Structure 1
Amino acid sequence: MRVDVLGPVRAEVDGQDRTPAGKRDRALVAMLALAAGGPVPADEVTAGLWGALMPPPGTLEALAERVGVALGPDGLTLDVGPEDVDALRAESLAAAAGEQEPGAAVATLEAALALWTGPVLSGVEDVPFARPHVDRLTELRSSLVEERFELMLLLGHHAEVVDELRAATRENPTRERLWGQLMTAYYRGQRFQDALEVYADARAVLADELGIEPGEALKRIEAAILLEDPTRDPALGDHPAPRAAGRLPIPRTPTVGRDGLVDRVDLTLREATTLLVTLTGMGGTGKTRVATVAAAHLRDITQREVSFVEVTEADTAEDVVAAVTAVVGDPDAEVGPGDRGPLVVLDNVDVSAEGAAAVRRLLEDLPSLELLVTCRFPLRLTGEQVLTVDPLDVPPPHASAAEVRANPAVELFSRMARQADPHLDLTGRERELAEVVRLLDGVPLALELAAARVRLVGIDGLRESLETGLELLRTTAPDVPERQRALASTIAWSVDRLGDGARRLCRRLLVFEDGFTLEAAEAVAADLGDVIDGLTEVLDAGLVRSLVSRVRVGFVMPATVRAYLRGQVSDPRELDPARLALVAYLLENVNRWHDDLDRAEGRMALGRFQDISRDVHASLESAVRLGRIEEAVDLALAAGPFWVASGELRTGLARTRAVLRSVPGDTQSAGRLHSLAGLLAYHLNDYEEAATSFERAIAVAEPLGDEATVATSRCYYGALLLVTNEVSRGTELARLGAEAAGRLGLYPLVAEGLGVLAISHGIAGDFEAEREMHLARLAVARGHGDILRTSDALSILAEIALDEADADGARAYAEESFAIADPVLPMEAGVALLVLARASVAAGDLAGAVPVLTRAFESAENVGQKQMVAQCYRIAASLGAARGRAAEAVRLYAAAQRLAPSPTGTDDPVEGDLAGGLELARSTLGPEAAGREWTLGTSLPPDRVRELFQSLVGAG
């Protein structure tokens, strides 16, 4: 088979035309022919033929069979050799001409040029694979034309080529070499005036088309012509490579979330002393995008000359300097005192081994030039201003749906996903979208690669795939640079350029699940030498980034980098020593913060713990797996109060149970872990689990003389029994626990004991004593500086005020509680919001209740406390009753009762204001209708209950 692509695509077998009729068929033949008979992977063929619009299964196989192409394990293959494809023959002839004498070379070049019969790949030029080949082969033809003219001039045929050169400059007006050759032809014939007119024409065309001045080669020819000295013939071999326009590329996708950074770049470039600004960051963060957007903004505002030059891996420092000089000419000759010189965006400097040297040369040779460089690491040159291009911000774990939708990473991902699949509906998928962009770290390249896959695997499939690796984040699109076709390749490029010590440190940092400090890094990498130097190198490469967390300045390794590095660890035991070092480091720190939790420093202590919470969970798992049970027990017990304070109840309970399974059942450790499990279950309203755990804790700890564990278990078990209507027994246990707490000097338990005894007074109907006990607890907590119990006591006093119909007093208490708790105490903050919402409804401020209740519901769902969720439903139902939506209100009251039954033993809420709302709805409907709606509400599935809640809260 012979295949022609230098014109319309044609295929011929034994002299007979066998060109396929279908466009995609011809494109497949051309694509495989250009591979010279080698196999092309199936996914590359698919991307080349269809781009992002993946065809239905079996389409490629059917196409291959129709065209007669072999489909094997390595891909698709067309039975052709280099001599059978006109483009490959043209390249071979071009190479041969370079080895021949001028006369023979002209004939060879003419034979090569004769192979072109029209525009390259005519008829399939818009198929995705074709664009690079069209550009490359069109450029090849132009180069062959210019080389032939060069040889003709060298052979003295200047008069013969004048007309051809004039036609060539009309066809390719931006190619300076052709203009120079035409000037030289006139010059050789001593037609100096014609040659000068050609220079004037070239200057006008280049200014109009490209916005640039003629390059040095044309200027030298002009200078020789002005001297009218035939003996000073311009050197024909001294010509520039064809120049790109130097214009800034126009982004193909929207720019999202970069306004602030673009403004910073713009302000830095406007500073009078700035000559070099370097945008750094890991691969894929969008350095080129930020640079081009900022440069375009500066150009439009200041009318400065702005150009763009991309550096390639093959470029030497000389090549880069020549490319920039070709674009800007000699700016020093044109810039007056006080004026700013041209700005050049020098892109991807780090891909060239001599990139930094090139920048140094440019700054030395062209003092008026200003450079905006993109590079993965600082160049460390004098006067360099470094700005980091971080990934886009991602939604925090507890972001609301509205916050997720407004997030820049989510916005970019959603736009790109809908571009790949216009029918994609992401409504109501905010939680999943937030998880996906967090897994992608907000890296724009990762977001774009992932978005292109949503049409194939869906949001859920994408999320599952990202949790296991980066395999899905790749493309074979031919218009994407090779180093960016897979996110793993982008990361590998940076890792491979680290020194040995920094690479080892990178792998060691995998033990951290989240951010880490320098101190923590030194703890797990003490054997690697100077961690500061290694971390600096890793930071410069963009493989970790600075992180200002709740209470500390540290670092974080992006999840995508972690996923790549995990794939490089062949033996999972490699990191076990570092994991054990992390266990020891965490235990020392959590124990040190423990006493601060119940004091004025509690907010700081809790913030510190939340920064390392994920590391604590992972370290507990590692300690158990590696048989370090004692350390696991100590770490779990130290973490327990922090889990309660931060609302990590479910995960804390699961981790406590896991450690318990490795501990002998009759030991002090077992007793304490049972007590902790009971406490976590109690706060989750899982009273059956809590009761069992407290009973086991007391049974184990009492014979061992562990009074603190017995007192703690009795106190909380007593509270549990009180709220489940075992008043007598609950009061007695709470009294015993409180007395022991006072005797042992256990402050937290003393405060809790006061709260439990207050509950017992309330159940007995002694409301004044109840209030006084809570006020006493508030005073004790405030005196100790305990923000957690201070906030809790204020919320309870707010509820008491509501029971007494004092909505204003309730608001005051609840607002103070929320101000103390938010954002470090999510559970207490959620409770305060619940009381605030109730107070707003009770005061008739229905509109004001809506945003408060919405936030309270999000907090309750995040904490996972079903009692809080049920209270949100009851408050929403009360709101609905006040708005006249009685039927829906009764239904939601019933759903709340099913989720978390009222401690009254009836269907009525224990709170007077909420019970009043239910009574209002029932009386509006009448007994029979109210009964029907109640039955319906008890049978609603959870998703319908959630919809009902949102409907009542959103109603005006």
Structure 2
Amino acid sequence: MDAPAPAPRFAVLGPVRAWRGPAELSLGGPQQRALLAVLLLGRGRAMPVEALVDALWGDLPPARAVGTVRTYASRLRRVLETDRARPEVLVPAGNGYALRTAPGMLDAEVFEARAAEAGRARAAGDPARARELLVQALDLWEGAPLPGLPGPYARAHRDRLAERRLAVLQARLETDLELGRHADVVAELTVLCAEHPLREPLRGLLMLALYRCGRQAEALEVYAAARRTLAGELGADLGTGLRDLQERILRNDPSLAAPVPAHPPVSGASGTATERERPASLPAGLADFTGRAPLVDRMTGWLTRRDGTAPVVVTVSGAAGVGKTALAVHVAHAVRAAYPDGQLAIDLLGTGERPLPPAAALGEFLRALGVPGPSVPEGEDERAALFRTLLADRRVLLLLDDARDAAQIRPLLPGTAGCAVLVTSRARPAGPPGARRIDLDVLDPVEAIDLFAAIAGPRAAAERRAVVDVVALCGFLPLAVRIAATRLAARPGWPVRALAARLADGGRRLAELRIGGLAVETAFQPGYDRLEAGTARAFRLLAVPEIGDLSPPAAAALLGTSRAEAGHVLESLVDLGLLDSPSPERYRYHELLRLFARQVPEPPGERGERADALRRLLRFALGAQLEVLRVVRPGAPVPVAGPGEAGGLEFSSAGEAREWTYRELPGSLAVIRQAARLEAGGDADREAGGDAGGEASGNGGALGEAADLLIALDPLLDDGYRWDEARPAARAVLDEAVRRGDPRSEARARYVLGRILTHTGRPDEARTHAERAAGLCRETGDRPLLAVALDLLAHLAFHERDLRSAIAHTERAITLSREFGDRAGEAERTGDLAYAYVEAGEAARAVPAAERSRDLARLAGHGAGEAYALCTLGIALRETGRFEEAMARFDDGLAICWSQGLRARESSILLRIAETRLLRGHPREALTAAGKSLAIGCEIGDDRRRGRALVVLGRIREALGDPEGARRLRREALELFTGLGAVEAEEARRLLDGPPDLGPDGFTASP
């Protein structure tokens, strides 16, 4: 039996993050993470949806705030739950949600527990144990809390959590003084007093630490500075605590004497610092350095804390242009006071053709430390030994910029704890084992806007929307933002929107991002030039598809290699800072790096390799989706021309296959859009990012395969409710098919587009496409596609209450399905026929049709079709008065839904259960089932299902004696249906005015 999945672990003491085991979970955008933060800080309390709306938006919620909150919650549940059918972490609670964390799984709770235990240790007279616990508590922090999260709740708790951290930090400093560590805390207290000038207790601790170090005059100057600051800021005098401390310092009060230190202070063995060379070779910081506050806090904390026997090493890695050096230099200047014996900085030239050898770097360091040139040893080992000896009793900060790898850094590390090392590198990892690591990402949007405004000047404030566009087009990359802002500043006659328009053209964006000797391309080029031929080819080809991220199987298809080889090259590019891996088995480019990779010229003899790579990816996506359908709809023919190339991809269950489709869907749809425009030769091959080349496959070439992939995805779009995502892909195939005169591809695109328009509330347009698709199928003899097109026409007729036409279309579709052996399709269409009989008042005739649908689906191994048939059978049995049998069939259908992840069908069956319980006089039980149906509708973003659930909930509320609640729910349903342009809107309007007898749900919707 499989071990249970580990409980998720959460962090709010810094960026909001979550892990399951060692794997970090992807939590979505800022608003979604803000919702998670609200629930986490609620500590398991039920939070009504209205309270969550207030927390996220305050007095200015968007028009559909409640629905948005439910959508965010459903997305988070997908990430956090291992069993989405039975949520245990993010659970419904009344009209809202609660988030249940396992003990010790939220860093804020652990932080408070350790702080409380430290308080008890201090009270018991054990300051050493108290300090240990306080250090453990503070080590949980990863910078400023909740950075970048919007909303009043996040703002309030950001301040509260920051205040708690400062209070615990103050307690740790107090225990340091109790333990005689006054010399170690002076630098840290100096920085804290500068950051919090009105916090008198910190001033008092600094005064006491300085006094105990024999620096009485400096302690009194801290008092004087505090008094000036308070008078200037508040017009007030200092409190009695500081005044009393000043008086005691003036009279050398014996009670202020230091206790016996817990460890000997760091001291020199060969003269004081003033008698030796004190290098200060840090480069100047940027005057307009902007953002990164959480990282600056975290790094400053690491570099000013001296625990242990080894030097602190902090590595900053990331892509070119992300601001590694700027951050490292800024932090180095911020902690200079903690390293009074000097600061050494050197450029290791790691991205160039000739990195600086460690021996050469050591020679420069030794001379900076006062070793005469002739006395510098020749060998690297001897230089490293002398370097460590000179630093053994000193507190020196080293900045090693642009390191190639850990081997280049290792000889340059000091040997004792008094020193610290800051390393920047594009490589991951760059430092030794035990190093503190910062994997630097781009700026968050607010920081990028602030940086742009700081450089560009007042125009930024006047054209805020255009500034947002510019920094987004720069990918929030600091170098790109800096160049764009500098260009604008040098062109005082340009509005910001003019720059945004120039950057919007992806083909010229990199050319726009250069000024003087500064260019994004120039920053990227050395990293590419270092690549071996095979890795360079991979870097070019992996950038071909216009998709957010790649899996190793997709990469293998692009490269034409095995999955193992593709995985190796992907990881190599991540280590070199040329790709990101946001989660296991997912890889992506920064957008500007993607543009660079797409514009790198193809080597001689490899013309057309990008177009060939895109075709390989298209054939892989088609083959993989056909493999999905083989598992989900076994035996059902799919109207495609070729099998594709699945690359050995296999699925062990229908649920696993569906999950693969939904995970890869954005990439599959993007490949369809891109491949639809990829012609055999000619300029259209620039869609692949390079020159034309290669040959088209049969059946319309790439366009035909793109149309086939669209058809192969179609059966899974319904249950995942991903219609809006699919629309651009269907439109791209249709436009190209019409332009080229390709009736086969046109029919497929029109059918899928008709399905999309049906489900998004545009039935008239849907009918036009469905009729044209059916006509094209008749012209070309395409019977498999004609069957599904007739099924779509039946669906449209059914919703218009034209039951005669619906039944006629369905019967013709059943005949076609039977003729070409599509048992799964025949099962589905027989289920449609059964439901049409129910709506026509012929429930007795519907029962055997639904039973035949169930049996056909079971024989075909078509779980989704069987669940649909069972739902229809339950409705037919209910209408004939066989309630117990109906409920049993509904339960059978639910079991299939749970096993295969059929969320949309589960919602439908739950709603039918609610109707049945209401008819039987059990409104409380009906309320539970309808509520679950509504929650699923919200989760999958299906507004039509949500509307239907709201109508049933309205009838239940009416039965429970709550007419006002019923009216409110019906009004909300009407708003949803009206927004969709759905036929249910008119019936919902009649329900509000006084419902006619329309059955338990007031609608005649498909099951």
* TM-score (normalised: structure 1): 0.52
Q: 1:699 Cα shift?
A: 4.2
Could you tell me whether the CA contact under 8 Å between 1:620 and 1:636 is conserved in 2? no
Quick one: which amino acid aligns to residue 655 of structure 1?
Answer: A
Q: 1:764 Cα shift?
A: 6.2
Distance change (3 Å), C-alpha of 1:812 and 1:831: farther
Q: Paired residue for 2:104?
A: none
For the residues of structure 2 that align with 1:271 and 1:437, how far apart are their CA atoms? 42
Distance change (3 Å), C-alpha of 1:280 and 1:320: same
2:596 is equivalent to residue 564 of structure 1: yes
Query: Which residues of 2 match residues 79-94 of structure 1 at below 5 A?
Result: none
Q: Paired residue for 1:244?
A: 281
Secondary structure of 1:372 counterpart: strand
- Kindly provide the CA deviation profile for residues 633-683 of structure 1, in whole angstroms up to 9, marking residues without a partner as x: 43232233345542224213213414643787776x665555334323322
Q: Paired residue for 2:439?
A: 389
Quick one: which amino acid aligns to residue 651 of structure 1?
Answer: P
Could you tell me whether the CA contact under 8 Å between 1:811 and 1:836 is conserved in 2? no
Q: Paired residue for 2:902?
A: 787
What is the count of residue pairs matched by the alignment?
613
- Kindly provide the CA deviation profile for residues 295-346 of structure 1, in whole angstroms up to 9, marking residues without a partner as x: 688889x98978462427597756643554577788966988xx99654332
For the residues of structure 2 that align with 1:841 and 1:258, how far apart are their CA atoms? 51
Quick one: which amino acid aligns to residue 523 of structure 1?
Answer: A
Could you tell me whether the CA contact under 8 Å between 2:774 and 2:786 is conserved in 1? yes
Query: Which residues of 2 match residues 71-150 of structure 1 at below 5 A?
Result: none
For the residues of structure 1 that align with 2:294 and 2:273, how far apart are their CA atoms? 47
Could you tell me whether the CA contact under 8 Å between 1:278 and 1:384 is conserved in 2? no
Q: Paired residue for 2:988?
A: 910
2:556 is equivalent to residue 501 of structure 1: no
For the residues of structure 2 that align with 1:474 and 1:662, how far apart are their CA atoms? 36
2:503 is equivalent to residue 465 of structure 1: yes
For the residues of structure 2 that align with 1:271 and 1:578, how far apart are their CA atoms? 52
- Kindly provide the CA deviation profile for residues 569-593 of structure 1, in whole angstroms up to 9, marking residues without a partner as x: 3798442222222222222212122
Give me the identity figure in percent.
16
For the residues of structure 1 that align with 2:560 and 2:972, how far apart are their CA atoms? 59
2:561 is equivalent to residue 523 of structure 1: no
Distance change (3 Å), C-alpha of 1:265 and 1:822: farther
Quick one: which amino acid aligns to residue 722 of structure 1?
Answer: F
Query: Which residues of 2 match residues 599-610 of structure 1 at below 5 A?
Result: 599-601=654-656, 602-610=658-666
Quick one: which amino acid aligns to residue 757 of structure 2?
Answer: A
2:544 is equivalent to residue 511 of structure 1: yes
Quick one: which amino acid aligns to residue 711 of structure 1?
Answer: A
For the residues of structure 1 that align with 2:293 and 2:914, how far apart are their CA atoms? 45
2:629 is equivalent to residue 594 of structure 1: yes
Distance change (3 Å), C-alpha of 1:269 and 1:366: closer
Distance change (3 Å), C-alpha of 1:436 and 1:806: farther
Secondary structure of 1:254 counterpart: coil
For the residues of structure 2 that align with 1:359 and 1:810, how far apart are their CA atoms? 67
For the residues of structure 2 that align with 1:612 and 1:487, how far apart are their CA atoms? 30
Secondary structure of 1:713 counterpart: helix
Distance change (3 Å), C-alpha of 1:348 and 1:792: same
For the residues of structure 1 that align with 2:416 and 2:480, how far apart are their CA atoms? 37
Quick one: which amino acid aligns to residue 363 of structure 1?
Answer: L
Distance change (3 Å), C-alpha of 1:561 and 1:502: same
Could you tell me whether the CA contact under 8 Å between 2:753 and 2:766 is conserved in 1? yes
Distance change (3 Å), C-alpha of 1:307 and 1:242: closer
Q: Paired residue for 1:446?
A: 480
For the residues of structure 1 that align with 2:660 and 2:528, how far apart are their CA atoms? 36
Quick one: which amino acid aligns to residue 470 of structure 1?
Answer: R
Q: Paired residue for 1:636?
A: 710
Distance change (3 Å), C-alpha of 1:360 and 1:243: same
Could you tell me whether the CA contact under 8 Å between 1:278 and 1:372 is conserved in 2? yes
For the residues of structure 2 that align with 1:421 and 1:803, how far apart are their CA atoms? 65
Could you tell me whether the CA contact under 8 Å between 1:391 and 1:442 is conserved in 2? no
Q: Paired residue for 1:321?
A: 362
Quick one: which amino acid aligns to residue 494 of structure 1?
Answer: G
Q: 1:557 Cα shift?
A: 1.7
Could you tell me whether the CA contact under 8 Å between 1:276 and 1:383 is conserved in 2? no
Q: Paired residue for 1:714?
A: 790
1:575 aligned residue (592, 610, 628):
610
Could you tell me whether the CA contact under 8 Å between 1:263 and 1:294 is conserved in 2? yes
For the residues of structure 1 that align with 2:499 and 2:369, how far apart are their CA atoms? 50
For the residues of structure 2 that align with 1:369 and 1:717, how far apart are their CA atoms? 76
1:687 aligned residue (763, 766, 786):
763
For the residues of structure 1 that align with 2:599 and 2:542, how far apart are their CA atoms? 14
For the residues of structure 2 that align with 1:474 and 1:665, how far apart are their CA atoms? 41
Secondary structure of 1:610 counterpart: helix
Distance change (3 Å), C-alpha of 1:246 and 1:505: closer
Q: Paired residue for 1:655?
A: 732
For the residues of structure 1 that align with 2:601 and 2:803, how far apart are their CA atoms? 58
Q: 1:473 Cα shift?
A: 5.6
Quick one: which amino acid aligns to residue 289 of structure 2?
Answer: R
- Kindly provide the CA deviation profile for residues 144-183 of structure 1, in whole angstroms up to 9, marking residues without a partner as x: xxxxxxxxxxxxxxxxxxxxxxxxxxxxxxxxxxxxxxxx
Q: Paired residue for 2:126?
A: none
Distance change (3 Å), C-alpha of 1:836 and 1:283: farther
Distance change (3 Å), C-alpha of 1:759 and 1:576: same
Quick one: which amino acid aligns to residue 653 of structure 1?
Answer: A
For the residues of structure 2 that align with 1:306 and 1:473, how far apart are their CA atoms? 41
Q: 1:811 Cα shift?
A: 6.1
- Kindly provide the CA deviation profile for residues 1-34 of structure 1, in whole angstroms up to 9, marking residues without a partner as x: xxxxxxxxxxxxxxxxxxxxxxxxxxxxxxxxxx
For the residues of structure 2 that align with 1:621 and 1:270, how far apart are their CA atoms? 61
Could you tell me whether the CA contact under 8 Å between 2:810 and 2:829 is conserved in 1? no
Quick one: which amino acid aligns to residue 318 of structure 2?
Answer: G
Q: 1:449 Cα shift?
A: 3.9
Q: 1:374 Cα shift?
A: 0.5
Could you tell me whether the CA contact under 8 Å between 1:735 and 1:757 is conserved in 2? no
Secondary structure of 2:543 counterpart: helix
Q: Paired residue for 1:816?
A: 932
Question: Which residues of structure 2 form unaligned runs of 5+?
Answer: 1-216, 222-265, 350-354, 371-385, 634-653, 685-694, 844-871, 880-885, 959-966, 996-1007
* TM-score (normalised: structure 2): 0.50
- Kindly provide the CA deviation profile for residues 780-807 of structure 1, in whole angstroms up to 9, marking residues without a partner as x: 4752635154245157649969999999
Name the Cα RMSD after superposition.
Answer: 5.6
Q: Paired residue for 1:553?
A: 585
Distance change (3 Å), C-alpha of 1:842 and 1:421: farther
Q: Paired residue for 1:492?
A: 525
Secondary structure of 1:507 counterpart: helix
Q: 1:563 Cα shift?
A: 1.3
For the residues of structure 1 that align with 2:329 and 2:913, how far apart are their CA atoms? 56
Q: Paired residue for 1:126?
A: none
Stretch moving more, 792-801 or 499-508: 792-801
For the residues of structure 1 that align with 2:463 and 2:949, how far apart are their CA atoms? 30
Could you tell me whether the CA contact under 8 Å between 1:278 and 1:373 is conserved in 2? yes
Could you tell me whether the CA contact under 8 Å between 1:246 and 1:308 is conserved in 2? no
Question: Which residues of structure 1 form unaligned runs of 5+?
Answer: 1-203, 224-239, 393-407, 846-873, 881-891, 918-956
For the residues of structure 1 that align with 2:285 and 2:740, how far apart are their CA atoms? 66
Q: 1:282 Cα shift?
A: 0.8
Could you tell me whether the CA contact under 8 Å between 1:277 and 1:373 is conserved in 2? yes
Secondary structure of 2:444 counterpart: helix
For the residues of structure 2 that align with 1:812 and 1:694, how far apart are their CA atoms? 38
Q: 1:260 Cα shift?
A: 9.9
2:319 is equivalent to residue 287 of structure 1: no
Secondary structure of 2:400 counterpart: strand
For the residues of structure 2 that align with 1:801 and 1:378, how far apart are their CA atoms? 60
For the residues of structure 1 that align with 2:903 and 2:483, how far apart are their CA atoms? 44
Could you tell me whether the CA contact under 8 Å between 1:633 and 1:659 is conserved in 2? no
For the residues of structure 2 that align with 1:796 and 1:660, how far apart are their CA atoms? 41
